[in-house]
Structure 1
Amino acid sequence: MHGARSWRGARLVVFWVICVLAVLVDQVTKAAVRASLIPGQPQEFIPGVLELSFVKNTGAAFSIGEGAGPVFIVFAVVVLAFGIWLVWSHDGLPMPLVVSVACVCGGGVGNMIDRMFFGYVTDFFATTFMDFPVFNVADIFVTVGIVVSVILYLVMVDAPASAAEASARTGEAASTGVGDRQDA
């Protein structure tokens, strides 16, 4: 039992470190954008690829749900609570999943802070090589966390079936005598 508690402690430490780092990086970059850029006046960052363009987003990802800030704040709190519960209560949770959940939670909190203090989310990365909504560091954390979580889920769902199949094949090999050494 002691091992499970120490593993839980390690998961929680990793979760909180990543979550806090995501919020810090997100908030520092947004503060820099608010201090140095003027909305509607993009600055070239990586020529032909990316520009910095200060956008006040009152919606969610890709400006969906304009003006529904309070709903998104509640949603972010629910996601954070779910993430904490998941990491705390599931002793067998693999560390990569802990990291991906922390990324989602940290990004969600970063955008929630903007909504609570400014009434909008500060977006600033604008792709110039393709038409794509303006986004921020929190959005990157959320997107990467969700993509990694989905991939891990698909791998974990498939893994038990593969393990069962391998076990069945091993059992068949043992019953047929395949691989048994016969000294005559």
Structure 2
Amino acid sequence: MAGNKRIAVFGGVAVAAVVLDQVSKAWARTALAGGPAPLVPGVMDLALVMNTGAAFSIGSGSTWVFVILAAAICAACAVWVVHEKAMPAPLAAALGAVAGGGVGNLIDRVIAGQVTDFFATAFIDFPVFNVADIFVTCGVILSLILAWRFDAARDGEGQTREDN
């Protein structure tokens, strides 16, 4: 894929993720300040939780460790997209989701020292999460699948008939 298109896909998804994340968190801090509200009864509630850790509140209070880690991962995604000339658009989009979600939570950590979470599962005991977490999780899963397919396709192109 052409470099400008690949970078535009990455950047567009990343920016969309950051905007959706930050708008939803601003809404949650206002709308849910009075207490939780059901979203889908028995399945998903909206409950405001301020998290100083990572998933499952691991590393609570280690804000700057997560800031450095998130910045490094986002930078690695961007560098990969810029330097991998043959990267397909879906992989660039998935990496944009990872980077955008990472930046969304990074903004919270730098500005407030904690991340705003608000999606709470009602049917299972699971950590409360946010839009950035959804982008990161889906982006990582898709990136792994697409990178595997991309590498397999690239390896297949390098084989000759005698290799098959």
TM-score (norm. length: structure 1): 0.82
Q: Which runs of 4+ in 1 moved over 4 A?
A: 160-166
Question: Does residue 120 in structure 1 map to residue 114 in structure 2?
Answer: yes
Query: Residue in 2 aligned with 1:35?
Result: 30
- Letter aligned with residue 128 of structure 2: V
Q: Across the two proteins, how many residue pairs are aligned to each other? A: 164
Between 1 and 2, higher relative CO (CA 8 Å, sep ≥ 6) is seen in 2
Question: Does residue 26 in structure 1 map to residue 33 in structure 2?
Answer: no
Query: Residue in 2 aligned with 1:143?
Result: 137
Residue aligned with 2:87, SS? coil
Deviations 1:35-86 (Å, cap 9, x if unpaired)?
A: 11127x3211111110001000000122111001011111121112111211
Alpha-carbon distance between aligned partners in 2 of 1:80 and 1:152, rounded to the nearest angstrom: 18
Task: Look at both structures and tell me which one has the larger radius of gyration over its CA atoms.
Answer: 1
Query: Residue in 2 aligned with 1:180?
Result: none
Query: Residue in 2 aligned with 1:102?
Result: 96
Shift of 1:153: 2.5
Check conservation: 1:11, 1:98, Cα contact below 8 A.
Answer: yes
Alpha-carbon distance between aligned partners in 2 of 1:65 and 1:111, rounded to the nearest angstrom: 15
Structure 1 spans left out of the alignment, 5+ residues: 171-184
Q: Which moved more, 1:155-164 or 1:15-24?
A: 155-164
TM-score (norm. length: structure 2): 0.91
Alpha-carbon distance between aligned partners in 1 of 2:144 and 2:98, rounded to the nearest angstrom: 12
Residue aligned with 2:23, SS? helix
